[in-house]
Structure 1
């Protein structure tokens, strides 16, 4: 029997908007494929992906070509992704935003993995690894849905770095869907490659790394706290989110030990270690990553002193904090802050 693959009900917002734009009756069409229109009112609701795949095929057939895929992306707003959307909007850079989507992809769907990484010196890649049905080997996401998602990543990128943003190229692991689609070509405005070994958006690494004008470290930290709590509810099998929440709560009093966190979660130390090992991580890495994430948000807030930040992320003295920061960023925290504040100029804002 196939696993139940689903996606966040918020996707119905851009889907129904796209239907209206293309003169497809939304309510009747959703019900035709067994999707209750009222589920959009539940921000934590889920929709069957197989039903959505059938809906995408129907809507594209109605309008011809692949225009529906692109219209869904054009109708996208980050709020569709719940707390993840707001955390992405306030991220420091497009790179940070895409890495966050990859990290918290289970907010969006349990149908795929997403990887965000630098490739060579010039490229940054958002790579979508689609799961397959166990009985047939068929991809859980259809080519239409893959295109809609990659187009949504491009739309999201334009919201963050500017409307003139274009990818370096789009890569699909399937052959062309029907005839050439002028709508898709015009939207991506870059080479589209088919029959590749991945589904990916390839971007200019320099553009991706640049500070976003919408970055807001204080608001971003609030959104991340909301996001972790949301993840603890929707993905109870992922122990990392629960541990990170405990660490965040305890850090101002000093870094909690692994044994303390295990006890708070009702687990033995050995059981906690085994579960984390099964998930490909360990307590030390979660603690270090959590400290770094908090630090990078705090360091970008000028009103917070370096010593205060060190205290808030659980270091007993500034020297230990400085050593950790150099390991993370290759420079002292004061030097990083100076560079950050210097780069946040009116000229940089105008560029976006």
Structure 2
């Protein structure tokens, strides 16, 4: 028997907006595929992916081209992805935004994994690994849905770093869908490759690393805290989010021990270690990553002193914090802040 695959009901917002753009009745169409129109009003609801895939096929057929997939991307709004959408918008860079999408992909769907990584010296890749049905081997997401999602990643990238953003290339692991579509070609404005071994957006690594227009460390931290609480509710099988939430709460009083966190979660130390090992991580890695994430948000807030940041992320003295920061970023925290503030001033000047 196949698993039940679903996606966040927020996707119905751009899906129905795109329908209206092509004079397709949203209510009738949703009901045709057994999707309740009221799901649009439930920010934490889930929609059956198979039904949504059938809806995409219907809409593309009505439009007569793949322009519908692109219109869904153009109709995207951050609220579609719950708190993740706003965390993406307030991220320091496009790279950080895409890494957040990969880390919290379970917010969006249980149909795929997403990876965001540097490839070689020049490329940064957002790679969508779509799951397959056990009985047929068919991808859970249809080619139309995959195209709409990759187009959405491109649309989000343009919102983050500028509307002149264009990928190096788009890659699909399926063959072309029907005939060429001018709307698709104009939207991506880059080579589109089919029959590849992945579904991916490939972009310039320097563009991905540059500071985003909407970078806001204070808001970003708030959204990430909301995300972790949300993930603790919707993905109880992934204990990492629960542990990270505990670490964030305890760090200002000093780094909590693994044994303390296990006790707070009602687990034995051995059981907690086993669960983390099953997820391919360990407590030390989670603690270090959480400290780094918090530190990078704090260091970009000029009103916070270096020593204050060190204590907030659980270091007993500034020297230990400085050593950890140098391991993370290759320079002292004061040096990083100076570079950040200088580049920020330059970025603001360029924007105006």
TM bin (shorter chain) = over 0.9
Task: Determine the structure 2 residue equivalent to 1:220.
Answer: 220
Task: Determine the structure 2 residue equivalent to 1:211.
Answer: 211
Matched-pair contact (CA < 8 Å) for 1:7–1:47: yes
Task: Determine the structure 1 residue equivalent to 2:95.
Answer: 95
* Cα distance between partner residues in 1 of 2:127 and 2:351: 27
Matched-pair contact (CA < 8 Å) for 1:213–1:349: no
Pick which of 341-350 and 128-137 moved more. Answer: 341-350
Cα offsets for 1:241-284 (capped at 9, x unmatched) = 00000000000000000000000000000000000000100000
* Cα distance between partner residues in 1 of 2:349 and 2:256: 40
CA gap 1:237/1:347 in 2 versus in 1, 3 angstroms: closer
Task: Determine the structure 2 residue equivalent to 1:76.
Answer: 76
* Cα distance between partner residues in 1 of 2:215 and 2:74: 22
Matched-pair contact (CA < 8 Å) for 1:123–1:202: yes
In the alignment, structure 1 residue 51 sits paired with structure 2 residue 51: yes
Task: Determine the structure 2 residue equivalent to 1:173.
Answer: 173
Task: Determine the structure 2 residue equivalent to 1:273.
Answer: 273
Task: Determine the structure 2 residue equivalent to 1:295.
Answer: 295
Task: Determine the structure 1 residue equivalent to 2:231.
Answer: 231
Matched-pair contact (CA < 8 Å) for 1:310–1:318: yes
Deviation (angstroms), 1:349:
5.0
Structure 1 segments of 4+ aligned residues over 3 angstroms from their partners? 346-349
In the alignment, structure 1 residue 15 sits paired with structure 2 residue 15: yes
Deviation (angstroms), 1:341:
0.3
In the alignment, structure 1 residue 67 sits paired with structure 2 residue 67: yes
In the alignment, structure 1 residue 114 sits paired with structure 2 residue 114: yes
* Cα distance between partner residues in 1 of 2:119 and 2:275: 31
SS of alignment partner, residue 140 of structure 2 = coil
Task: Determine the structure 1 residue equivalent to 2:146.
Answer: 146
Cα offsets for 1:275-331 (capped at 9, x unmatched) = 000010000000000000000000000000000000000000000000000000000
Deviation (angstroms), 1:39:
1.0
Task: Determine the structure 2 residue equivalent to 1:319.
Answer: 319
SS of alignment partner, residue 202 of structure 2 = strand
CA gap 1:227/1:188 in 2 versus in 1, 3 angstroms: same
Deviation (angstroms), 1:350:
2.5
SS of alignment partner, residue 345 of structure 1 = helix
SS of alignment partner, residue 298 of structure 2 = helix
Cα offsets for 1:68-110 (capped at 9, x unmatched) = 1000000001111000000000000000000000000000000
Unaligned runs of 5+ in 1: none
* Count of residue correspondences: 352
In the alignment, structure 1 residue 187 sits paired with structure 2 residue 187: yes
Task: Determine the structure 1 residue equivalent to 2:328.
Answer: 328
- TM-score normalised to structure 1 length: 0.99
Task: Determine the structure 2 residue equivalent to 1:31.
Answer: 31
SS of alignment partner, residue 107 of structure 2 = helix
**Alpha-carbon RMSD:** 0.9
